[in-house]
């Protein structure tokens, strides 16, 4: 894109507030696609989105089966113990077959591509986590006010 040689390129700030396996991918894919197009990207993980950047949880995200109108499995069965694990494992396998990267791998790609990852301070206090509990790709833990400072002049996407 030699036509985009000026320095003030587009900037996009994406908020990820959900922690389901199917709910974090929109934010991550938007972030990655932004970087691939040369757009600066900031990702802000808050509430259950914090699970996607927590070392102990990032490999164990689940899909909500109960009360999910788009789930192929009826709630009665989806609510049984162990079904969520099973569904998550099946989904992960499908993703591997499609060569879709895991959440952890997406985070590594995003960080290496130059996207900035941040955790939400309020969510950290709610879940009683420290920066040491997060994956190394997270740059810092910031408040909503800091997020607004970062997103000056940028487009904010809420997922």
DSSP string, the chain: -TT--SS---EEEEEE---SHHHHHHHHHHHHHHHHTT-EEEEEE-GGGGGGGBTTTTT------TT-TT-SS-HHHHTSTTHHHHHHHHHHHHHHHTTPPPHHHHHHHHHHHT-EEEEEHHHHHHTT--GGGB-TT--EEE-HHHHHHHTTTSEEEE-
Q: Which residue number, 73 or 109, has a Cβ lying nearer to another protein?
A: 109
The reply to whether 95 sits near another protein by the rule CB under 8 A is no
Q: Which residue number, 44 or 84, has a Cβ lying nearer to another protein?
A: 44
Q: Which residue number, 23 or 84, has a Cβ lying nearer to another protein?
A: 23
Q: Which residue number, 76 or 98, has a Cβ lying nearer to another protein?
A: 98
Among 1, 67, 82, 97, contact with another protein (rule: CB under 8 A): 1
Binding site for another protein (CB under 8 A): 1-6, 8-11, 29, 32-33, 35-38, 99-101, 108-109, 112-114, 128, 130, 132, 140, 142, 145-146, 149-150, 152-154
């Amino acid at each position: 894109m030699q036509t985009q040689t000026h320095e003030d390129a587009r900037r996009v700030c994406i908020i990820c507030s959900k922690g389901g396996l199917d709910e974090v991918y929109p934010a991550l894919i938007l972030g990655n696609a932004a970087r691939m197009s040369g757009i600066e990207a900031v990702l802000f993980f808050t509430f259950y989105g914090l699970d996607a950047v927590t070392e102990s949880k990032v490999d164990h995200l689940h899909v909500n089966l109960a009360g999910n109108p788009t789930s192929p499995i009826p709630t009665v069965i989806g609510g049984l113990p162990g079904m969520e694990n099973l569904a998550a494992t099946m989904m992960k396998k499908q993703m591997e077959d499609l060569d879709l990267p895991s959440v952890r791998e997406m985070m590594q790609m995003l960080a290496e591509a130059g996207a900035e990852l941040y955790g939400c301070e309020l969510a950290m206090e709610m879940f009683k986590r420290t920066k040491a509990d997060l994956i190394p790709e997270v740059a810092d833990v910031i408040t909503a006010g800091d997020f607004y400072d970062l997103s000056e002049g940028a487009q904010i996407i809420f997922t």
